[in-house]
Amino acid sequence: MTSPVVSLLPEAPILVLRPLFDEKNIGLVPLINQENQLVGVVTKGDLTRQRVRFTDLAPRAVSTIANANVLTATTQTNIRELARVLLAQDIRGLPIVDDQRNVVGIVTRGDILQALVNYAPLELWL
């Protein structure tokens, strides 16, 4: 799991997304409200799927291109279940939330692969 999480308020301008994705080398940013609760996710794909010029999008709020229906997991979710959901839903990452829907981390496909390489028993590879 990656923590702390880079997040934005829903009303942040789209203008900040591209440099944020590039500078932090991330592809997914959770949107959190004033109470620090998850209200959506915006991805690099959400930005690239837009059919208007980026300069036209720049002043709009990130919430206008974000997905409000977000799959999440908890810190108690089994790593195999996380991997299953990432593959079955063809998504790159899942926000990890606590009981109040506060984002405490993100698990990505890269995190799963890193755990497999670093912690999996060697018999798994045979």
Structural domain contains residue 54 = yes
Please state the domain count of the chain.
1
CA-to-CA distance for 27 and 108, rounded, in angstroms?
10
pLDDT in tens, 30-72: 999 999 899 999 998 888 877 656 667 788 899 999 999 999 9
DSSP string, 37-103: BEEEEEEHHHHHT--S-HHHHTTSBGGGTSBSS---B-TTS-HHHHHHHHHHTT-SEEEEE-TT-BE
Inside any domain, residue 3? no
- Inside any domain, residue 87: yes
Residue 9 lies in a domain: no
> Does residue 1 lie in a domain region?
no
Share of the chain above pLDDT 90, in %: 63
Q: Residue 25 domain-assigned?
A: yes
Give the domain CATH number at 89: 3.10.580.10
Q: Tell me, yes or no, whether 78 lies in a domain.
A: yes
Please give the model's pTM, rounded to 2 decimal places: 0.84
Q: Residue 99 sits in which domain range?
A: 14-125
